Amino acid sequence: MGQPVASRGRAATPTLGKAMLNKYARAFFTRVLTPFAAFLIRRGVSPDTVTLLGTAGVMAGALVFYPRGEFFWGTIVITLFVFSDLVDGNMARQLGRSSRWGAFLDSTLDRVADGAIFGGFALWYAGNGDNNVLCAVSIFCLASGQVVSYTKARGESIGLPVAVNGLVERAERLVISLVAAGLAGLHTFGVPGIQVLLPIALWIVAVGSLVTLIQRVVTVRRESAEADAAAAAQNSGATP
């Protein structure tokens, strides 16, 4: 509880196992998006509004276009809105108003947006995409992504540092899936063979999420054993 609210959470997490995008791309996008965040602040827009509208836009792009197999336009709409996830926190920091409520809202709506994206893929494969295996892989990506995030949130809620982010965290899941979906969507404009990229990406995200889940569970197991041992040692020292 010693840290200021603004520095709590992922930025304060030790970098062991830190995934590539969070490490290298976040600083770049922070620089690029800061003027836009400042512009929204001047217009009187609040970080919470950006969080809510961004999530609504991602959901609309995913659930209107993906179930119909319109991967190009779905990805364009999602891409326009998904960067709101970097803008909202940027605005809160510029305003000096990073809050517990904002952190909760941001993370909770991340889960909703991810559900819509992978749910959109699953609905396509359950319908006209007609592929039960890829429908199952999409559902696995959806569920495993949620559980990966839950392991960290739950571990931190029981007082552990959970000092690992793992191989494939949210930014990787999104970039791999969205780039592949956007390119696969070019098939409808006559680019041959390219639709295979989406199944490949879904398999990569599924396997990567499983590896990440194992990395986080192993870390929580080790950290909780260490914390329990430290507490037991302290208790035995306290009682004669």
Ligand X SMILES: Nc1ccn([C@@H]2O[C@H](COP(=O)(O)O)[C@@H](O)[C@H]2O)c(=O)n1
Annotated binding site: 48-51, 85, 88-89, 93, 99, 106, 110
* Among candidate residues 153, 200, 168, the one with its CA nearest the CA of residue 181: 200
Question: For residues 167 and 215, is the Cβ–Cβ distance under 8 A?
Answer: yes
110 tagged catalytic = yes
Q: How far, in Å, CA of 135 to CA of 148, rounded? A: 20
Smallest distance, Å, CB 38 to ligand X? 15
Question: For residues 156 and 163, is the Cβ–Cβ distance under 8 A?
Answer: no
Q: Which of 9, 47, 89, 166 binds Mg ion (CB under 5 A)?
A: 89
> Residues 110, 114, 130, 228: which is the catalytic one?
110
Smallest distance, Å, CB 6 to Mg ion? 13
User: Residue 29 binds which entry of ligand X, Mg ion, ligand LH5YIG7M, none, with Cβ cut-offs from 5 to 8 Å by kind?
Assistant: ligand LH5YIG7M
Q: How far, in Å, CA of 136 to CA of 21, rounded? A: 27
Q: Which one, 22 or 138, has the nearer CB to ligand LH5YIG7M?
A: 22
Supply the angle between the helices 84-95 and 100-126 in degrees, to the nearest 10.
180
CA atoms within a 13 Å half-sphere pointing along the CA-CB vector of 143: 7
Question: For residues 183 and 194, is the Cβ–Cβ distance under 8 A?
Answer: yes
Q: Which residues are catalytic?
A: 110
Enumerate binding residues for Mg ion (CB under 5 A).
85, 88-89, 106, 110
Enumerate binding residues for ligand LH5YIG7M (CB under 6 A).
10, 21-22, 25-26, 29, 75, 79, 82, 85-86, 89, 106-107, 110, 148-149, 152-153, 169-171, 174-175, 178-179, 182-183, 186
